[in-house]
């Protein structure tokens, strides 16, 4: 009887450890989904805004980081819906993108990212 009980306890511990590993794996998957990153997203893109820029700039990491940095250097509180403040951001983006339509397209992404 004691041997049977010992075996049963060992199996339960093994199952508990396996279940714990399973839950850790599920958590990692959920974290990746929530961050918006895929397995091949560069680690330098460490915010949802940077990932959104990267995904919309033909997966150009350097350009995404450059736009992010430029926007952060001129952005002001309350820029959304304030034409003067929006133009400052768009002007800085135009210095990099050199394309008015592209500036408008990427600016819409920035407006919709809560971190900016």
Residue-by-residue DSSP string for 23-64? HHHHHHHHHHHHHT--TTS-TT--SHHHHHHHHHTTT-HHHH
- Identify whether residues 21 and 71 lie together within a single domain: no
CB 69 within 8 A of CB 56: no
- Identify whether residues 11 and 60 lie together within a single domain: no
pLDDT at 41: 80
Domain count, the chain: 2
CA distance linking residue 46 with residue 52, whole number of Å: 11
Q: What confidence tens digit (pLDDT) does each residue in 80-107 have?
A: 999 999 999 999 999 999 999 999 999 9
- Identify whether residues 30 and 53 lie together within a single domain: no
pLDDT at 21: 75
- Identify whether residues 31 and 48 lie together within a single domain: no
Q: What confidence tens digit (pLDDT) does each residue in 52-85 have?
A: 999 999 999 999 999 999 999 999 999 999 999 9
Q: What confidence tens digit (pLDDT) does each residue in 11-56 have?
A: 777 777 677 777 777 777 677 666 556 667 888 999 999 999 999 9
User: Kind and range of the H or E element at 49?
Assistant: helix 48-56
- Identify whether residues 23 and 72 lie together within a single domain: no
- Identify whether residues 26 and 57 lie together within a single domain: no
The pTM of this model reads 0.69
Angle at CA 42, nearest 5°, toward 35 and 30? 25
Q: Which two tokens stand for residue 49?
A: 């805004």
What residue numbers bound the domain in which 60 lies? Answer: 41-116
pLDDT at 1: 59
CA distance linking residue 20 with residue 110, whole number of Å: 39
């Amino acid at each position: 009887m004691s041997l049977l009980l010992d075996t049963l306890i060992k199996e339960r511990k093994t199952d508990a450890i396996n279940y714990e590993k399973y839950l850790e794996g599920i958590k990692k998957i959920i974290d990746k989904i929530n961050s918006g990153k895929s397995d091949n997203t560069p680690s330098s893109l460490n915010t949802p805004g940077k990932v959104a820029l990267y995904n919309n700039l033909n997966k150009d990491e350097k350009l995404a980081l450059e736009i992010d940095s430029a926007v952060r250097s001129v952005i002001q509180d309350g820029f959304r819906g304030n034409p003067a403040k929006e133009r400052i951001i768009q002007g800085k983006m135009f210095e990099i993108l050199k394309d008015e339509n592209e500036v408008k397209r990427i600016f819409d992404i920035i407006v919709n990212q809560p971190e900016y």
